[in-house]
Structure 1
């Protein structure tokens, strides 16, 4: 049922040959995420694997800016360990009972209980991944307090008591760290209960380093000239700086260049290769058309500064 995986070989990172992590034997589990090409960063991976190995009665809360790879880190680590994942998107109308399950009508007219993502993860030893958890009503999340600590899951509708599988893990992601959004960048973020947050260990994931994003671009568009890829990454980081804000700019953009958007831009640029304005045309469709007129102009000005004569609109 379980097997040891070499950290170095499985995740493509520098690690001692003797360093392993326990996962599941491949078994065609439909809840295991699809494995995709992925560049793991050493520090975030270390924290996730340490949590998978031994949560010590904690959940794992991953915070960081939008598009920094919080969700993909967990899913791709689980994919390589053949660990099932139940991903749920947080929102203001999400209720605890949605996570537990519900009765559904069968073909013969009877009612049958169907496990929700929480119950299924607890029962089978999967990861419950609550994305954008800080957009959820904190009162609805209090029902998770006991289960994070390893206590049985009580299903009142069926009077069933589900003992947590030893491999059950609870991971949450959020753009804030549970204390609300102080930056004003994220709509709908709610301050979470201190008692709930106290049940999590925290880790922060920022945008990848340029070398890591370069590795991703090399895999995505291997024929693109190095100088173009370097400047694409430079522009992405300039956009992120303006989005986040700082001493020179205070969140002047409402959109940002995630790694996902960067790779989309590169792919579209390759598709439109040969057009006189391929980079600009692709950037608009990858990101810029989500902004208003002033934001579009600001991003194109940044691009002109970065690319110089290679930038044509």
Structure 2
């Protein structure tokens, strides 16, 4: 524990209901936080157990649908805890060596520079591999040695064997958690090795309630507070989300919580106020901003289906 760490009450730090006096030690690191972010109390309790290194919580996986806020959760947690956070989005082309470091040309010579994984392993902090199970299974399995308790990291470039810092934490995010994707919504999601998955405590990030999602929206877009739009936009987004192919429906497009906030920000922008399209028809700012937020480029039939569904919830003409 950082000797400069200070105790802060949980309810003050995370904005959740917690017993008076219940607190955590917060490091001296400073990061910008999003004051509109809403923590799920049950999820927070589990992540605190992981961060504290309680038995059974050594390595963390966070799974859930696209846009539900997996990486954001970890970023906001790290920021409030005052600890360093490094993340990288991996793919089938990612190699273990690239997570450890790379060679750069400086002053005419080649120099090896450590990257996030090695930095955090050596000095302490949280390292997150986004979309972890898109990585080649063989490359991912090279992490097993340092994921085990008391494990060490052998830098493949330098050969140095680095002892694990007691405050190093490894986590990943993903859509399926290593079981592949049968819906076709998440291209590149692979079935991972059980031996690798077995080394993780895996948390499925729950969906927000309509009330929580509305609170998130108005915190992010204050102009929507005390208007009927926030509640209707949330209801419309959730209706589309329920019909998304990734959730067993037939639509190839989604209005995720992330897209909902983008929709709200576009809608209140002066650029989306009603105007004459040139043929005497006034544009609808709600629908136009929705299209630009997440629908443009989608197949026409899918786009029309979403617009019709949203129009039903908003009571609007869906043509624009």
TM-score normalized by the length of structure 2: 0.89
State the Cα distance separating 1:108 from its structure 2 match: 5.0
Distance 1:298 1:105 in 2: 52
Count of matched residue pairs? 304
Partner of 1:14: 17
Distance 1:235 1:309 in 2: 12
Distance 1:134 1:157 in 2: 24
User: Secondary structure at 2:228's aligned position in 1?
Assistant: helix
State the Cα distance separating 1:222 from its structure 2 match: 2.7
User: Secondary structure at 2:19's aligned position in 1?
Assistant: coil
Partner of 1:255: 253
Instruction: Confirm whether residue 304 of structure 1 aligns to residue 303 of structure 2.
Output: no
Kindly indicate whether the alpha-carbon contact (under 8 Å) linking 1:279 and 1:311 is maintained by their aligned counterparts in 2. no
Kindly indicate whether the alpha-carbon contact (under 8 Å) linking 2:152 and 2:162 is maintained by their aligned counterparts in 1. yes
Map 1:57-68; keep pairs closer than 5 Å.
Answer: 58-68=58-68
Partner of 1:157: 157
Map 1:147-226; keep pairs closer than 5 Å.
Answer: 147-149=146-148, 150-224=150-224, 225-226=226-227
Partner of 2:278: none
State the Cα distance separating 1:151 from its structure 2 match: 0.9
Distance 1:23 1:113 in 2: 32
Distance 1:183 1:217 in 2: 28
User: Secondary structure at 1:91's aligned position in 2?
Assistant: coil
Kindly indicate whether the alpha-carbon contact (under 8 Å) linking 1:55 and 1:169 is maintained by their aligned counterparts in 2. no
Unaligned runs of 5+ in 1: none
CA separation of 1:145 and 1:240: change in aligned 2, threshold 3 A = same
TM-score normalized by the length of structure 1: 0.91
CA separation of 1:107 and 1:208: change in aligned 2, threshold 3 A = same
State the Cα distance separating 1:106 from its structure 2 match: 3.0
For residues 246-283 of structure 1, the C-alpha deviation after alignment (integer angstroms, 9 at most, x for no partner) is: 7xxx4311121111110111111111245551101100
Partner of 2:279: none
For residues 43-78 of structure 1, the C-alpha deviation after alignment (integer angstroms, 9 at most, x for no partner) is: 222221221111547210111000000010000010
State the Cα distance separating 1:311 from its structure 2 match: 6.1
Distance 2:22 2:132 in 1: 32
State the Cα distance separating 1:309 from its structure 2 match: 4.3
Instruction: Confirm whether residue 103 of structure 1 aligns to residue 110 of structure 2.
Output: no
User: Secondary structure at 2:243's aligned position in 1?
Assistant: helix
Kindly indicate whether the alpha-carbon contact (under 8 Å) linking 1:92 and 1:137 is maintained by their aligned counterparts in 2. yes
Structure 1: 4+ residue segments shifted above 6 A: none
Unaligned runs of 5+ in 2: 276-281
Partner of 1:23: 26
State the Cα distance separating 1:312 from its structure 2 match: 6.3
Partner of 1:43: 42
Distance 1:68 1:222 in 2: 21
User: Secondary structure at 1:105's aligned position in 2?
Assistant: strand
CA separation of 1:240 and 1:161: change in aligned 2, threshold 3 A = same
Distance 2:288 2:207 in 1: 24
State the Cα distance separating 1:205 from its structure 2 match: 0.9
